[in-house]
Each structure stands twice: as structure tokens, then as C-alpha cells.
Structure 1
Amino acid sequence: MSALALLDDDALWFPTPERALVEPDGLLAVGGDLSPERLLLAYRHGIFPWYSDNQPILWWSPDPRCILRPERIHVSRSLRRTLNQRRFTVTLNRDFRAVIELCADSRDDGTWITEEMIAAYTRLHRQGHAHSIEAWDDRGALVGGLYGIALGRCFFGESMFSLQTDASKVIMVHLAHQLAAWGYVVMDCQVESGHLLRMGAECVPRTEFLSILEEHVDCAPGHCHWELQWQWPGAKT
């Protein structure tokens, strides 16, 4: 069995993901900090933080890995009807802070999005690495959101919330189509769920996911600014 790596604030490194534990699946290291440099290094190597308030920082790289190839997003008939109804206005980076806070607040079983995590990812947003996508209803209320990290041609989804039926699904469709238009090759979903699998996500071996990162995480994306250009045909802007 692999030994769990212990990190400190002074040395910026991670063990290879192949050293992650089998049980719990993907637990790789403990400790360190949430500095922008460490977080970006983690994502580049298929590693992400996930822990609770009463725990030290835990770093994970599960096997298999749940991913969505943007061009393979699946739109069901019912979701297509929702999109055609144009119930939501979709935006990028309009209110990152509100999205991450609602991702934390909307979970009934507690949250791993601690105040420390909120501060860390807000810093990454200010630096241009972390992004949010939002869904707004006709009253101008924020009813759905997703945030994650963009590196090269890879997008690493972190969390999402939905306060109205299908809001998060509409967001996923818009984001996937926009990423595909920009030449992104993968949306990292981290851990599988029925919701993600129904939308076209798949589980691949960690080795395959790491190969995708090695090839594309440092590639120049096909855009200069994170501005929403794709819309569902006839959608509100």
C-alpha cells in the first residue's frame, strides 16, 4: 500500500498520482496550503483539494476519473424543451463570488467549500484562472452556477448549484458548447454522478486522464478572454 504523502508550506511539490490510495479512492497527500501556485500545480497533475473544516487539507486524484468531452455533451429531449423555452439567461464571470458561496450554501449535507477554499479560489479568479458560469431567471435572480479552473485546453469543474429545475443542466450545455468552440478537449468532473453520466460524461482510467493533461494542459486555448459567445439557438443574451 502506498504511504500518504505529508506536505508542508515551504516545499512546493506533489507525489505522482499513481501513489494515491485505493481506499479511500484517490487520497494522495495531506497538508500544504491553498496558495495559487500550489493549486495550479495540483490541477496540472490531475490533483485537487477536498476536505472539511475539521480536517487538514486533503489532496485527491481518483481512479477512474469522470470527464466530459465538450463536443459529446448529451442534450435530452426534456432538456432541449427547457432550452427552447429560454427560461434562463446564461453568463460567464458575472458574479464568481456569489456562485462559489451558493455552491457552499446549497448543500444539505454540509460542504467542503470552506471559507479558506472560497478565499483561495477567489484569488485564482482575480488572476484569471478560475471562472464561473451563471444562470439567471426572468427576475434577474441567480438560480444556477458552476465554477472551475481553466488551464490550457482543459477545464476543471469544481462545483455547481441549482435553485430551479434544469438550471445547472442549462449551464452545462452552454459551457460545453463554448469550450468546444474554443478548442478545449476535456471538462474534468472529478467523481461520477448519475446527473453527469446522463449528460455524456464518462469514466476513464487515471492514466488516460493524465495523458490528456500532459498533452493539452499547457496548450494555448482558442480564445483571448472568457466571454460567452455561444448561445443556444434563439437564447436570450
Structure 2
Amino acid sequence: MIPYLGPLDLFPPVEMAREDMGGLLAVGGNLQPDRLLEAYRRGIFPWGTVEGQPLWYSPDPRMVLFPEEFRLTRSLQKTLRAGKFEVRFDSNFAGVMAGCATTPRPGQDGTWITPEMKHAYTRLHELGWAHSVETYEKDVLVGGLYGLAIGRMFYGESMFSHRTDASKVAFAHLVRYLVANQFGMIDCQMYTDHLASLGGREIPRADFLLRLTALTAAGSPRSAWSTDPLDPAR
């Protein structure tokens, strides 16, 4: 049985997650900011809702990317140097969420980014926890990503692309921003070939949680992010 959480119920231990169900840990509770931040600090994340109730996951192994292991290919480096896209931080969070929710993906029917999820992460953005990196072509949003920053830990949530390499350019700028600000790890949640091509890899959940505890406790200002301080093509 998957535990059902009431509004005030604590999360069960992550070791109870059902690996035969992709790491599903619990159902219910709410998506209030305090609940979400508690979940992320414990290595738990919501992945969609059913009848308005959030589904909470903690898979083992965990897909992560260490910023120093980011794989900048020659083709992506060429795209960055060409300056085809303009990159902005935290200037259109709603647009990025909408792009992630509506962009078709192979093998997926619909989206897990429900209205409840949009509302929850928009609130986290307003509070300075959630951030977006956007790529523009001629002032039109064509790609980007969003996620959360707690301490020196970044939790990637979703990305989209309407032009070749648009999301990869956003990711490259994100990585350089994280390196410049001494972030230690990006949570990618679950394995995909796309993330692996960028340098992501799976680690045991126990290892992930140990690193997570230290990184979320590290100091980092909670505020809107400014323009990328470094040129990722260098």
C-alpha cells in the first residue's frame, strides 16, 4: 500500500519508496511552500497529481549531474559562440513552465505539470526559491528550464526546446552560473539519455542524501537570479 498523507502528516522514510513504481513514496498532503521545501531537503519531489493530490517520489538510484562534469560538446560550444540565442534568468518563469507543460515529448501522453503544480512552483518563484533560465531568438522564447535552489543544491525540474540546442544552451548557462556560485550538485531525478549526454549519471540514493544534507545546509542567498556572470562558450 502507498501511504496517503493528510495535510499535516509527515513523509514516510524514503526507504519505503516503491522501486517497482519508479520510486513512488506517498500520495496526498499538499503543495504549500513549506511542504515542498521539506520534501526537497529530504530527497523527495512531487511528480504530477491525481485528482489534485500530489504524487511524491524518491527513486534509487538517483540521476544527478555534478557541475564540473558537464559535457560541453564541440557542436554546443559552437552554438554558444555563435550567439544565436539570448539567455535570460528569471525573466519569464511562467513562460518556461508553460513551454515545459505544452511541448510534446516522445513516449508521453499529456503532462505532469498540472495547474496545481504550476501554481505551487510559481509561488516558490515569487518567494525566491524557484528559478528559470530562458533562451530567446529575436525576442521570442524558444527554450529554457526551471528548478529550485536550496543552499548550494539545484533541483532541475523540466526543460523544453522549440529550436535545436535551445534547452542545451540554457543548461550550459545554468551550469556556469552554478559553478560560479559554488553549487555542488544538480538533481536530475530520473535517468534519461538526454541528461546522460550532458554528463549526468546515476548514484545510489544513500550517497545522494549524504551530499544533499551538506549542500542544502550551505549558505546561499535566496533571491532572483541576475544575468549569467560568465560566458559559457569560454
- CA distance in structure 2 between the partners assigned to 1:206 and 1:76 by the alignment: 28
Which letter maps to 2:117?
M
Identify the residue that residue 199 of structure 1 maps to in structure 2. Answer: 198
Deviation at 1:25, TM superposition (A): 2.3
CA-CA distance at 1:4 after TM superposition: 2.2
d(CA) in 2 for partners of 1:95, 1:153: 23
Q: For 1:41-190, what aligned pairs fall within 5 Å after superposition? A: 41-52=38-49, 54=51, 56-108=53-105, 109-137=109-137, 139-190=138-189
Match of 1:15 in 2: 12
Alpha-carbon distance, 1:215 to partner? 1.1
- More divergent stretch after superposition (91-100 vs 104-113): 104-113
Q: Tell me the amino acid that sits aligned with residue 82 of structure 1.
A: T
Displacement of 1:225 in angstroms is 5.3
> Post-superposition shift, 1:224?
6.8
- CA deviation vs aligned residue, 1:79-111 (integer Å, no higher than 9, x gap): 111112111111110110111111101135310
- 1:216 Cα deviation after fit: 1.1
1:232 positional shift: 2.6
> Would you say the 8 A contact 2:129–2:222 is kept in 1?
no
Which structure 1 residue ranges, 4+ long, deviate > 4 Å from structure 2?
52-55, 222-225
1:209-228 equivalences under 5 Å are: 209-221=208-220, 226-227=225-226, 228=228
Q: Paired residues, what number?
A: 230
CA shift, 1:10, in A, is: 2.9
Matched residue SS, 1:217: helix
User: 1:5: which partner in 2?
Assistant: 3
Q: TM-score, normalised by structure 1?
A: 0.92
In the TM superposition, what is the alpha-carbon distance from 1:57 to its structure 2 partner? Answer: 1.5
Provide the secondary structure at the position in 1 that maps to 2:71.
coil
Root-mean-square deviation over aligned CA pairs:
1.7
Unaligned segments of structure 1, at least 5 residues: none
Unaligned runs of 5+ in 2: none
Q: Is the 8 A contact 1:154 1:185 kept in 2?
A: yes
Q: 1:52 to 1:10 in 2, by over 3 A?
A: closer
Deviations 1:12-70 (A, max 9, x none): x2112111112112110111110001000000011001124557321000011000001
